[in-house]
Structure 1
């Protein structure tokens, strides 16, 4: 059983909390939203972001120091626009044994990858905590509902990535280890382009005869080759 802190209880943070709770892990969750805190604490559900799925057993808090106390894994389920501010807040509370996992998608200010920006913050504070990124085709309500979901967990320390994949994989949430977090983040962004293009093909099906599964497969293979 792992002891996990999830910082950010939006739909994806709440979804991973639910999956890991059901798998027997001890999970804390931090939020700045009073209504989310009260909903989880009083009713065992996040009515705002994931109302159809229970998170009974999730220990919610609005204090970062409480969230990080006694855990081994710190999961950053924070929007890319504010994640670096939260990293600044957690740095004083990090201890050497904490492993960080970044779930954020997008770019940090200055068009940097988020993992690069986080590592810069850690280095500047003389913190040597290992950082991993989790990326993949993950739709929160599906994952929370038990739909089989796969993702990549990548860290420059491959042994950490393998340990995280082994520890955090559940029956329906399957993590694959990798040692290239930068490549994982870039591919995570690139796959969205392919997905959008495949969606355009679905639109073509409704307006004429050009769109079809053959074209969608061709686009998928072209994207796979480019990646």
Structure 2
């Protein structure tokens, strides 16, 4: 581990926050896992596993659990923010007074805030002290697979190359490999928008539209994501990397992916709200869909797949009608 980092706090007790805590504890760091809910923190501490979001993986002795912000933010050398995107602002406002400006933050949650159209790192930067370094860690990373120590590769993105490298070294081990990148907005837009495409992939599964349809979705989905990202100043190469096509493929094919699974339920007849109620996890893609559309409209970017997903979520089109609308668009070059 980097000698200057000894204590790391993970904020958020969901599956990704928990698995980050496990990875970092595995590396020998003293890890504090913070929950916003005292009852959940007590359950985590008592049973030494996350029975709600990541059952079956016991906490080692170097993971402590708390619901007290003062304890969680007293002495970490790095903070991992695993708070779902739509709750980042409200939670960080609660925590900001305990945060030291010199302590860097790495965001692992993916999404776009509906009200502001900001990605996770931008939200955190807007709440915290000016000068706080904020990075993103993103890529194809299904939490249960990571907890089982199955091989996984992701990207640490930061404007400061040294911070990205330090995060890379802190997290990397023989089953979790981290690359670095300086394209923070590209990495974050990839992570947020792929959840929308994952909903579409699930809808395709739900109506049994076939493998050809899913292949077309993933291929054109990458184009759509890159189109938006480049309009926001991202690098084209980011979208063909781990944070882009890598994360998209994993999310769209994994049987346990939250967004794909929610899309499948919608394809089989559930409403978006029923799909949300049918899981204990946060389905970021549902809220993100409309945020992506607003962002695309703001920058004059055409996103027909995202528009079709929004129509299904809003129940202004059935899944088959949405697919038909995409298939019968004006013919053009690839």
TM-score, normalised via structure 2 length? 0.59
Aligned residue for 1:119?
Answer: 125
In the alignment, is the contact (CA less than 8 A) between 1:133 and 1:154 conserved in 2?
yes
Instruction: Give secondary structure in 2 for the equivalent of 1:97.
Output: coil
**Structure number with bigger Rg:** 2
How far has the Cα of 1:138 moved from its partner?
2.0
* Cα distance in structure 2, aligned partners of 1:138 and 1:129: 26
In the alignment, is the contact (CA less than 8 A) between 2:112 and 2:192 conserved in 1?
no
How far has the Cα of 1:93 moved from its partner?
2.0
1:45-88 superposed Cα distances (whole Å, 9 cap, x missing partner): 12222221111221111111111222111111112222112222
Instruction: Give secondary structure in 1 for the equivalent of 2:163.
Output: helix
Q: Which has the higher helix share?
A: 2
**5+ residue gaps, structure 2:** 227-334
Aligned residue for 1:137?
Answer: 140
Question: Quick one: structure 1 residues 193 and 37, their matched pair in 2 at CA, closer, same or farther if it must change by over 3 Å?
Answer: closer
In the alignment, is the contact (CA less than 8 A) between 1:88 and 1:121 conserved in 2?
yes
Aligned length: 219
Question: Quick one: structure 1 residues 120 and 219, their matched pair in 2 at CA, closer, same or farther if it must change by over 3 Å?
Answer: same
In the alignment, is the contact (CA less than 8 A) between 1:45 and 1:56 conserved in 2?
no
More off after superposition, 155-164 vs 109-118? 109-118
**5+ residue gaps, structure 1:** none
Root-mean-square deviation (CA), in Å?
2.3
* Cα distance in structure 1, aligned partners of 2:219 and 2:177: 23
Pairing 1:33–2:3 present: no
Aligned residue for 1:94?
Answer: 99
Question: Quick one: structure 1 residues 24 and 217, their matched pair in 2 at CA, closer, same or farther if it must change by over 3 Å?
Answer: same
Aligned residue for 1:85?
Answer: 90
Question: Quick one: structure 1 residues 91 and 193, their matched pair in 2 at CA, closer, same or farther if it must change by over 3 Å?
Answer: closer
How far has the Cα of 1:178 moved from its partner?
1.0
TM-score, normalised via structure 1 length? 0.84
How far has the Cα of 1:167 moved from its partner?
1.7
The equivalences for 1:120-199 within 5 A come to: 120-122=126-128, 125=129, 127-199=130-202
